[in-house]
Chains A and B, each alone.
Chain A
Amino acid sequence: MTGSSAVQRWVGVPLLLLGALVLQTSLFAYVPLFGALPELTLLVAIAVALEEGSEWGAGAGFAAGLLIDLIGALPMGISALSYCLVGYFVGWFRDHLPDTPLAPIALVAAATAAGQALVLLLAALFGQGTRGVGALTVVLTSLYNAVLAIVVLPLVHVVLRPRGST
């Protein structure tokens, strides 16, 4: 497994995150699945963690969360902290995944649920109310992300590792 070059990472990851943010605010915000919106920036951070491991996962997660905090109404840092932890642990889990094509998809669903739960917990701790998000919304969002992962994971792979290197 040849790692992607530093240039590919430093250019590719920010571009992927910004692309995810724009798609989230301008496209997917209008296309809820039974009332639940996907978390596209978190999904990209998870995909980066799966490609590049814990350190990049934590960094991408932090950046993704910061963007969401800026655009949304939550105090800055809550999503950044949550997604940073999620990115780190996804990077750690990737070395322990069973070798089936479904494993990364399942990990995306679990990590999305964990990220949302963390944000909700922190928001409640900091007196931001319950945000009106129930378990059902968390499950639906995780499913939504898992479905989108079928497209996003290969896309992130291609961006970070061009020239067919696997």
Chain B
Amino acid sequence: MLLILLVAIAAVLISMEFNSGGEPSALRKGLLTVVKPVESVVGTVTRPIGRFVSGIIHAGDLKAENELLTKQLEQLEKQEADAARLERENAELRELTKLQNAELFEYVTARVSSVRVTNMDWSIDIDAGTGNGVADGNPVVAGEGLVGRVTDATSGGAKVLLVTDPQFSVGVRDERTGVTGVVTGRAGERPTLELVAASADVQEGDLLTTSGFEGSSFPAGIPVATVADVRTDDSGLTLKIEVEPFVDATKREFVSVLLWTPSG
């Protein structure tokens, strides 16, 4: 019977995905290569309509956002003046220590071609793929903060697993105290931070950046999140820490893919 046949096919598909050990299976990539172009061509026409409708619905939010951004801009202009001074200082110091600028990576800028498509989806699609040098595992950033990690790169596009996805985790370091831990996505809720040492010094507002240990999935020093809430659990032994991701990827139109893959 048809139903049994289809259920069996689905079961085979699921098991194939799991046997490929977390890597996207060849079948998935093949199908994506076929489906994705169709979706993106038609989407070129319909997407502006979507953004337009969304704009009308959220007109009120936009006004508030505008005010907030104006305020932030003023702040940033002040900070920029400070930064220019610090940069000069930094350049001089660098000269002194003969430190090479090792933190720069090659990157490609990509347009976000679709935001998360269903309630259970915590990924976005971008329009840069293997044709642009993008590979599975590349870190994705926007506005200097971590967005996620490339999965399912095909020739014309790629999927980016967001920091908020339950399958996503990243090793981080507290910039203030140097304490290390792991940030794990929790979908609709704020990601959590689990510390390597139980009784470590972490406070609300602390900035967390990628730790970049040997064999890590990300280079060191990319801002990931700020600590939003620290509580001790009922036993009073371990800390329960929630963090706020640095970038809200679903509101970005462009992101940068770092052409960097984990070594080893």
Interface, chain A (partner B; CB < 8 A): 18, 21-31, 36-37, 39, 54-55, 58-59, 62, 65-68, 70-78, 80-81, 84-85, 88, 116, 119-120, 122-123, 126, 128-134, 137, 141
Interface, chain B (partner A; CB < 8 A): 2-3, 6-7, 9-14, 16-18, 25, 27-28, 31-32, 35, 38-39, 42-43, 46-47, 49-51, 53-54, 57, 114-123, 125, 151, 159, 161, 164-167, 185-189
* Residues of chain A within 8 A of B54, CB atoms compared: 30-31
Contact B6 A73 (CB under 8 A): no
Q: Chain A contact residues: over half helix, strand or loop, or mixed?
A: helix
Chosen A-B contacts, 10 in total, with CB atoms closer than 8 Å, are: A23-B46, A26-B114, A29-B50, A31-B50, A68-B117, A71-B114, A71-B125, A75-B18, A129-B186, A131-B120
Contact B42 A22 (CB under 8 A): yes
Contact A81 B10 (CB under 8 A): yes
Within the complex, which residue of B7, B17, B50 is in contact with A75, where a contact is CB–CB below 8 Å? Answer: B17
Roughly how many angstroms separate A31 CA and B38 CA in the complex, as a whole number? 22
Contact B14 A75 (CB under 8 A): yes
Q: A33 to chain B: closest CB distance in Å?
A: 10
Within the complex, which residue of A58, A81, A116, A119 is in contact with B11, where a contact is CB–CB below 8 Å? Answer: A81
* Residues of chain B within 8 A of A88, CB atoms compared: 3
A30-B119 CB under 8 A given contacts A73-B159, A75-B18, A132-B188: no
A62-B6 CB under 8 A given contacts A18-B38, A67-B35, A77-B11: yes
Q: Chain B contact residues: over half helix, strand or loop, or mixed?
A: helix
Roughly how many angstroms separate A67 CA and B125 CA in the complex, as a whole number? 14
* Residues of chain B within 8 A of A137, CB atoms compared: 119, 188
A70-B31 CB under 8 A given contacts A26-B114, A37-B118: yes
- Residue in B closest to A85 when the chains form the complex, CB atoms: B7
Roughly how many angstroms separate A73 CA and B17 CA in the complex, as a whole number? 12
* Residues of chain B within 8 A of A81, CB atoms compared: 7, 10-11, 14
Q: A6 to chain B: closest CB distance in Å?
A: 15
Contact A24 B119 (CB under 8 A): no
Q: Select the residue from B9, B28, B121 with max chain A CB neighbours within 10 A.
A: B121
Q: A101 to chain B: closest CB distance in Å?
A: 28
* Residues of chain B within 8 A of A76, CB atoms compared: 13-14, 16-17, 25, 27-28
Contact B118 A78 (CB under 8 A): no
A25-B53 CB under 8 A given contacts A36-B119, A131-B120: no
* Residues of chain B within 8 A of A119, CB atoms compared: 120
* Residues of chain B within 8 A of A116, CB atoms compared: 119-120
* Residues of chain A within 8 A of B31, CB atoms compared: 66, 70
* Residues of chain B within 8 A of A134, CB atoms compared: 188
Q: A116 to chain B: closest CB distance in Å?
A: 7
Contact A26 B7 (CB under 8 A): no
Q: B222 to chain A: closest CB distance in Å?
A: 21
Q: B18 to chain A: closest CB distance in Å?
A: 7
Contact A73 B53 (CB under 8 A): no
Within the complex, which residue of A29, A58, A62, A129 is in contact with B166, where a contact is CB–CB below 8 Å? Answer: A129
- Residue in A closest to B12 when the chains form the complex, CB atoms: A77
Contact A27 B53 (CB under 8 A): yes
Contact A73 B121 (CB under 8 A): yes
* Residues of chain A within 8 A of B32, CB atoms compared: 70
* Residues of chain B within 8 A of A130, CB atoms compared: 166, 186-187
